[in-house]
């Protein structure tokens, strides 16, 4: 069984024994309580002096998707890079994907020691930027055989064809917490409409494999350095500058001065990795920030429409998306100037 106490996942052995008993350990294993994500359940396993991370996939039961993730990880192991990535552990059958009787999937990974970085620490922001640059370079050197399981961000309308404006608006009537945010939601739908005029230009930007979900919760730090990147489930071929947009979204808070400092530091760290952007990428990076935020909004709208989340979850997403989109749109000119200065090769 599993329950939460103050946001911490508290787990008992019987919940995960169905997976863990498919592996061979040198000694008895135990579960260590810890934090978990919104899409999957992640727990630490101790077996003697060794530590592992078990990841149960709660948002799908497609073994091909997990196998694809593992192909990406295997390819990255062969590339020189300034950070660590997860290493899947084979079970007793030699497979890196394990299944419960109901079809729920899980995978075991070698533990990367360290702590979760925080945007409250400037050094973590800078070194996360450097890691993202190193990841972009590493991705440019791999050629996975399997096709990506996920579409690029710029296929927003195709990815969320069923999440129409009218469906989203209906949530205002169904849930009071969403109705209270009707004005913000209306503004987000307007951003969605306006962004459609820029998708053609976005599609023409340089493309390659990207992680697609780099953030502070998907990274590992040791001291001041980000030394690991995690959760490669959403890897796909997309415009490469999207990797930066995903991180920058999380750097935009309600404090104006902090936003500029954090974004500048992140971009400075990225430029130190020797992976400069083109002028077109710098000019469209604000649009990519909006694209990321709208994708997140539609994702959680679809989850509420399918009754997979509480209304409060989508309400929080609306608040964040409104803040990020309004600030980005209001400061687009200044952001482009910063991106040119920090990220375009001529200016570095």
The model's pLDDT over 229-266, given as tens digits with 9 standing for 90+, comes to 999 999 999 999 999 999 999 999 988 889 999 999 99
Give the residue among 338, 254, 322 at the shortest CA–CA distance from 290.
322
Residue 5 banded pLDDT, cuts 50, 70, 90: very low
Q: 39 pLDDT exceeds 80? A: no
Helix H segments across the chain? 13-20, 63-77, 122-139, 156-159, 165-174, 176-179, 182-195, 199-203, 242-251, 256-271, 279-305, 311-330, 332-343
Q: 53 pLDDT exceeds 50? A: yes
Residues with Cβ within 8 Å of residue 184, at least 6 apart in sequence:
318, 319, 321, 322
Pair (100, 145) in one structural domain: no
Distance CA 135, CA 131 (A): 6
Query: For the chain, how many structural domains are there in total?
Result: 2
Q: Examine residue 247 and state whether it is found in any structural domain, yes or no.
A: yes
Residues above pLDDT 90, as percent of the chain: 82
Residue 15: the pLDDT is 77
Residue 34: the pLDDT is 59
Pair (252, 336) in one structural domain: yes
Residue 189: the pLDDT is 96
Residues 215-223, mean pLDDT to the nearest whole number = 96
Pair (136, 39) in one structural domain: no
Residue 9: the pLDDT is 44
Residues 118-133, mean pLDDT to the nearest whole number = 97
Taking phi first (over 0 means left), then psi (-120 to 50 degrees means alpha), and beta for anything else, what does residue 114 get?
Answer: left
Pair (126, 48) in one structural domain: no
CB 11 within 8 Å of CB 43: yes
Burial of 311 (0-12, 13-18, 19+ CB in 10 A): middle
Residues above pLDDT 70, as percent of the chain: 93
Which of 78, 110, 142 terminates a domain? The answer is 110
Residue 78: the pLDDT is 95
Pair (93, 200) in one structural domain: no
Residue 346: the pLDDT is 61
Q: Examine residue 115 and state whether it is found in any structural domain, yes or no.
A: no
Residue 272: the pLDDT is 87
Tokens 């052995």 -> residue: 13
Pair (173, 201) in one structural domain: yes
Pair (98, 245) in one structural domain: no
Crossing angle of helices 182-195 and 165-174, rounded to 10°: 170
Residues 310-331, mean pLDDT to the nearest whole number = 97
Pair (139, 248) in one structural domain: yes
Residues 300-306, mean pLDDT to the nearest whole number = 96
Which of 110, 143, 175 terminates a domain? The answer is 110
Range(s) of the domain holding residue 67? 2-110
The model's pLDDT over 162-192, given as tens digits with 9 standing for 90+, comes to 999 999 999 999 999 999 999 999 999 999 9
Residue 330: the pLDDT is 97
Pair (10, 159) in one structural domain: no
Tokens 């791999």 -> residue: 142
The model's pLDDT over 12-23, given as tens digits with 9 standing for 90+, comes to 567 789 999 999
Pair (74, 142) in one structural domain: no
Distance CA 300, CA 311 (A): 10
The token pair that represents 112 in the structure block: 């990367």
Q: Is residue 225 helix, strand or coil? A: strand
pTM, two decimal places: 0.90
Distance CA 288, CA 195 (A): 9
Residue 256: the pLDDT is 87
Question: Cα angle at 83 between 82 and 86, to 5 degrees?
Answer: 145
Q: Examine residue 302 and state whether it is found in any structural domain, yes or no.
A: yes
Residue 10 banded pLDDT, cuts 50, 70, 90: very low
Burial pattern 173-209, b for ≥16 Cβ within 10 A else e, equals: eebebbeebeebbebbbebbeebeebbeebeebebeb
Residue 199: the pLDDT is 97
Q: Examine residue 117 and state whether it is found in any structural domain, yes or no.
A: no
Q: Examine residue 16 and state whether it is found in any structural domain, yes or no.
A: yes
Q: 100 pLDDT exceeds 50? A: yes
- Mean pLDDT for the chain? 92
Residues 114-121, mean pLDDT to the nearest whole number = 95
Residue 35: the pLDDT is 60
Pair (130, 91) in one structural domain: no
Give the residue among 196, 187, 153 at the shortest CA–CA distance from 168.
187
Pair (191, 273) in one structural domain: yes
Give the residue among 88, 206, 216, 201 at the shortest CA–CA distance from 140.
206
Q: Nearest 5°: phi and psi at 291?
A: -60, -45
The token pair that represents 42 in the structure block: 């992640």
Q: Examine residue 159 and state whether it is found in any structural domain, yes or no.
A: yes
CB 54 within 8 Å of CB 19: yes
DSSP 62: -
Which of 110, 138, 173 terminates a domain? The answer is 110
Q: Examine residue 133 and state whether it is found in any structural domain, yes or no.
A: yes
CATH number of the domain to which 16 belongs: 3.30.200.20
Q: 302 pLDDT exceeds 90? A: yes
CATH number of the domain to which 191 belongs: 3.90.1200.10
Roughly how many angstroms between the first and final C-alpha of the chain, as a whole number?
53
Q: 273 pLDDT exceeds 60? A: yes
The token pair that represents 97 in the structure block: 């994907």
Distance CA 309, CA 101 (A): 25
Residue 131: the pLDDT is 97
Residue 145 banded pLDDT, cuts 50, 70, 90: confident
């Amino acid at each position: 069984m599993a329950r939460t106490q103050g946001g911490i996942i508290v787990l008992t052995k019987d919940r995960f024994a169905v997976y863990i008993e498919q592996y061979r350990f040198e000694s008895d294993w135990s579960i260590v309580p810890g934090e978990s994500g919104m899409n999957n359940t992640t727990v630490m396993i101790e077996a003697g002096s060794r530590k592992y991370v078990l990841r149960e996939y709660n948002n799908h039961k497609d073994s091909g998707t997990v196998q694809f993730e593992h192909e990406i990880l295997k390819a990255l192991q062969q590339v020189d890079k300034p950070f660590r990535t997860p290493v899947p552990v084979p079970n007793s059958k030699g497979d890196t994907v394990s299944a419960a009787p109901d079809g729920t999937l899980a995978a075991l990974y070698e533990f990367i020691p360290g702590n979760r970085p925080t945007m409250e620490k400037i050094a973590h922001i800078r070194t996360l930027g450097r890691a993202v640059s190193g990841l972009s370079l590493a991705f440019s050197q791999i050629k996975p055989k399997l096709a990506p399981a996920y579409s690029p961000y710029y296929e927003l309308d195709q990815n969320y064809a069923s999440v129409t404006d009218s469906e989203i608006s209906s949530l205002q009537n169904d849930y009071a917490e969403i109705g209270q945010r009707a004005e913000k939601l209306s503004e987000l739908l307007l951003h969605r409409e306006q962004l459609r005029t820029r998708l053609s230009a976005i599609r023409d930007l340089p493309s390659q494999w990207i992680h697609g979900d780099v953030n502070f919760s998907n990274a590992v730090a040791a001291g001041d350095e980000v030394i690991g990147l995690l959760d490669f489930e959403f890897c796909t071929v997309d415009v490469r500058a999207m990797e930066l947009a995903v991180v920058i979204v999380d750097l935009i808070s309600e404090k104006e001065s902090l936003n500029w400092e954090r974004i500048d530091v992140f971009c400075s760290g990225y430029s130190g990795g020797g992976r400069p952007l083109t002028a077109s990428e710098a000019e469209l990076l604000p649009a990519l920030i909006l694209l990321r935020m709208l994708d997140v909004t539609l994702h959680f709208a679809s989850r509420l429409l399918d009754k997979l989340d509480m209304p409060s979850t989508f309400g929080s997403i609306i608040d964040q998306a409104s803040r990020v989109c309004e600030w980005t749109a209001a400061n687009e000119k200044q952001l482009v100037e910063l991106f040119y200065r920090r990220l375009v090769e001529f200016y570095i």
